[in-house]
């Protein structure tokens, strides 16, 4: 069975929980820098381009892998998923409904 660290590319098998507006680039990037796996949150985002900016801002701070979260009650979640695919975000978690 593959190790989660091999799947995610992180040093440690520690995945930061997705939390609404809290998980911005300033939190996510240091988590990944420290060897965990940071997750950007998009729960209350209102603009796919703002989400793209968050992905790019995280990439500016860290070259380590990080993921993102889709909050399925946000009607723009499908658009955010497209942004993640375009920006090469390889791991996306999904909230409960």
Ligand X SMILES: Cc1cc2nc3c(=O)[nH]c(=O)nc-3n(C[C@H](O)[C@H](O)[C@H](O)COP(=O)(O)O)c2cc1C
- In the bound state with ligand X, the residue whose beta carbon lies nearer, of 29 and 40, is 40
Residues 6+ apart with CB under 8 A from 78: none
Binding of residue 20 to ligand X (CB under 6 A): yes
Query: To the nearest whole angstrom, how small is the minimum distance from the Cβ of residue 73 to ligand X?
Result: 9
Under 8 Å between Cβ of 94 and 70: yes
Q: Which of 20, 21, 26 is nearest to 66 (CA)?
A: 26
Q: Which position among 7, 19, 50, 73 is part of the footprint of ligand X (CB under 6 A)?
A: 19
Stretch that binds ligand X, among 2-10, 14-22, 55-63, 80-88 (CB under 6 A): 14-22
């Amino acid at each position: 069975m593959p190790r989660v660290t091999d799947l995610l590319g992180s040093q440690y098998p520690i995945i930061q929980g997705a939390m609404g507006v809290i998980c911005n680039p300033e939190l996510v990037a240091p988590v990944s820098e420290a060897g965990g796996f940071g997750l950007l949150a998009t729960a209350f985002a209102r603009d796919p381009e703002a989400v793209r900016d968050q992905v790019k801002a995280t990439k500016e701070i860290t070259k380590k892998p990080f993921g993102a979260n889709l909050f399925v009650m946000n009607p723009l979640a499908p658009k955010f998923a497209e942004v993640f695919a375009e920006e090469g975000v390889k791991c996306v978690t999904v909230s409960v409904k």
